[in-house]
Amino acid sequence: MLKNYFKIAIAVLQRRKFFTFLSLFVISFTLMLLTVLASFVNKMFNDNYPDRKRDRSLYINAVTMTGPESMNRSMLSKSLVDDYINKLKTPVSVAISTWASSTNTYLNNKKISLQYKYTNAAYWDVLDYDFTEGKPFSRQQLDNAERVAVISEHLKQEYFGGGEVVGKFITADDIQYRVIGVVKDVAASSQMFFSDMYLPYTVSKKDYRKESGYFGSFRVILLAGRVADVAKMRQEYEHMASKLPITQSGYDKIESKAQDYLHAFLDFGRLGTAGNVYLAIAIFVCLVMFLPAINLVNINITRIMERSSEIGVRKSFGATSWTLTGQFIIENLILTLGGGLLSIPLSLAALALFNYLSLIDHFHLSLNVPVLLLSLLACIVFGLLSGVYPAWRMSRMHVIVALRTAS
């Protein structure tokens, strides 16, 4: 049966080549747009370099103190980490890092702009950076406040031009650091982990040990031993945070959230809540799909009217409306899947163009399995969307009318 439908579909598609081209163009271009959007969103939210242990991690961006008149929200202080967070029972490891700051360095008549961030040694256990050379700094080196640096591939190219660089020296903010490791670039969109240089926080000019109170300049990642412990870890942390003694006057409530990656990322980029972001994407997708869908419905209706003789004959031989509707929807799905296949090379070209323009540093889009599956789903939705109404219209045709117009 299906084989027959398939044969009919191919025959019909060859009948009016211009309309077939129209449908295929509309479908493949729409799907290309959606595929690019899907791979963008996927890269933004699901790219798990360097935090491959995301399912076991909780991210803490800020502490918030509120009072009747005032509110203060800021990153965490070193003393809060030492005195409270490190004493929690569930986390097996606690990574801390500062926000990346920019500076420049001048090298034989060339200016290099770079960003650096301070971290602790556990940062390298919690996150899985890919080292192309050397290794991260150890707890020992951190405690000794050695001036060592882990740098990114990009900075290595800019500053040294290539070759082996471990053991060489690099100057930033007028201080010399010894390079001990080189890591693969992180996309600039994952601001929590992106930097050109990673330094032990003990070498910072700002003395973090002097940060009193709870407010400071660190964000924290808690790592649980097992996925099952994450909920417990979150409860433990948030309970601890709400019980912190309040020393400043004018405040009566303190809280700090340990969030999963997605919420922390959106919260961090001030993008609003996850719900809003999804809503914005959904509206965009609807807009992009709505017009082409109506268009296809239009084209499909005109094509069906051409086949009224076929419909009339089949109906008079006893085919039910359901059979005809089903047949037409299947034909339409075959067409959309064809468009879907066409959209893959188009998407590849669009992604290549996007990567070539490199609007965001080290942010490269690629087609991967989840994105392709999403596109396939979009394809099927699209096929149904543009096939159901015309098919229903067709199946309602009276036999007599159908046969007469087929003169």
Distances (CA, A) of 378 to 6, 30, 35, 43: 21, 10, 9, 18
Q: How far is the CB of 2 from other proteins (least distance, A)?
A: 28
Contact yes or no for 220/259 (Cβ under 8 A): no
In DSSP terms, 205 is beta-bridged to none
Nearer to other proteins, 32 or 222 (CB): 32
Q: How far is the CB of 26 from other proteins (least distance, A)?
A: 6
Distances (CA, A) of 117 to 50, 73, 126, 228, 281: 15, 21, 16, 31, 32
Q: How far is the CB of 264 from other proteins (least distance, A)?
A: 21
DSSP H helix total and E strand total for the chain: 13, 14
Nearer to other proteins, 106 or 317 (CB): 106
Q: How far is the CB of 376 from other proteins (least distance, A)?
A: 21
Q: How far is the CB of 149 from other proteins (least distance, A)?
A: 15
Token couple for 72: 């203060």
Nearer to other proteins, 93 or 300 (CB): 300
Q: How far is the CB of 36 from other proteins (least distance, A)?
A: 10
Q: Give the residue among 303, 315, 327, 300 at the shortest CA–CA distance from 390.
A: 300
Burial of 196 (0-12, 13-18, 19+ CB in 10 A): buried
Q: Where are the alpha helices (DSSP H) in 100-247?
A: 123-126, 139-143, 153-159, 230-242
Nearer to other proteins, 34 or 254 (CB): 34
Nearer to other proteins, 301 or 337 (CB): 301
In DSSP terms, 115 is beta-bridged to 102
Nearer to other proteins, 298 or 320 (CB): 298
CA atoms of 42 and 46, how far apart (whole Å): 5
Contact yes or no for 339/28 (Cβ under 8 A): yes
Dihedral (Cα; 143, 148, 150, 154), 10-degree rounding: 160
Q: Which residues bind other proteins (CB under 8 A)?
A: 18-19, 22, 25-26, 29-30, 33, 101-104, 106, 109-111, 113, 173-174, 205-206, 287-288, 290-292, 294-299, 301-302, 305, 359
Residue holding tokens 């099927």? 380
Nearer to other proteins, 22 or 367 (CB): 22
Q: How far is the CB of 154 from other proteins (least distance, A)?
A: 18
